[in-house]
Structure 1
Amino acid sequence: MTEDIELRGQCMCGSVQVRAASNRNRVAICHCDMCRRWSSGPFMSVNCREVAFNNEGSVSRVRSSDRAERGFCRECGSNLFYRIVGQTNYQMAAGIFNNQDQFRMALQVFVDEKPSYYSFSEQTKCMTAAEVLAIHAPK
């Protein structure tokens, strides 16, 4: 088992600071239509648990589908996380963390929904929408 790393970061304005534990230094990229509308590009995230926000009052949550919610800073609008409702893990926005050089791109999901105007050169595991939903959709 990989040893946990502690991640620290904050939103753009600093109203929300976060501490989280992760046993991965991998970044996952989601190309789905909803993530692209939310972030104006693919959503890049780190799988985290034991997530603690210093100022929960500045964290807004929106139920974005029947299975998931997204969080952002109420003050500056920075995207903070995507989370499947009922799970304890968060897909935290990779860009909010300090020391991002420790991360490496490892997975791309909803690759069948990726528009043609961008691409990544890293070799990663790629999953279609159907493959992702087979794992994470409510049964």
Structure 2
Amino acid sequence: MSNVVKGSCLCKAVNISTTNMSNIVGACHCGMCRKWGGGAMFAIECGSNVSFEGTENIGVYQSSEWAERGFCQKCGSHLFYRLKQNNQYFIPAGLFDNTEGLIFEHQVFIDEKPEYYSFANETRNLTGAELFAQFTPTSEN
């Protein structure tokens, strides 16, 4: 997408804009995402070209060595999951003002998904090990 896509937290103290939003939605079932939001996190990859207004209202939690999670300190809305190494943002789909044309395409950490919910959509499903394997360089002799 070449146009600017905008969104905000629940109380509108933090506004988000990006010009690099994918139309693909992924769900993460890892224990941290479920603990963070009470269920799967539905997120859209937005690359590193993400800007925020109201940055004084953003709290950041270092959730791992490689990633951090941002939230609004006023209303508690989840704002992003950011990979530190390449400054890659994954933004919760529900924050965007317009979600028309989005496609629920994949689920990760499917092996950690609890049995009490299931989505009807046909998606590509990856376990945690399969996801990490995509980011681990292989050595060929």
TM-based fold match above 0.5: yes
CA distance in 1, matches of 2:8, 2:109: 27
1:77 aligns with 2:84: no
Compare 15-24 and 125-134 and name the one that shifted more. Answer: 15-24
1:19 aligns with 2:17: yes
* Change in 2 beyond 3 A, CA 1:98/1:135: same
The residue correspondences of 1:1-139 to structure 2 (distance < 5 A) are 3-22=1-20, 24-49=22-47, 50-136=49-135
* Change in 2 beyond 3 A, CA 1:103/1:137: same
Offset, 1:100: 1.4
CA distance in 1, matches of 2:137, 2:13: 34
- How many correspondences in the alignment? 137
> Which ranges in structure 1 are unaligned for 5 or more consecutive residues?
none
CA distance in 2, matches of 1:34, 1:138: 25
Offset, 1:136: 3.8
CA distance in 1, matches of 2:59, 2:134: 27
Aligned-CA RMSD value: 1.8
Aligned-residue sequence identity (percent) comes to 39
CA distance in 1, matches of 2:16, 2:104: 21
Normalised to the residue count of structure 1, the TM-score between the two structures is 0.91
Offset, 1:138: 9.7
The secondary structure found in structure 1 opposite 2:125 is strand
Offset, 1:18: 0.5
CA distance in 1, matches of 2:131, 2:52: 28
* Change in 2 beyond 3 A, CA 1:16/1:23: closer
Offset, 1:126: 0.6
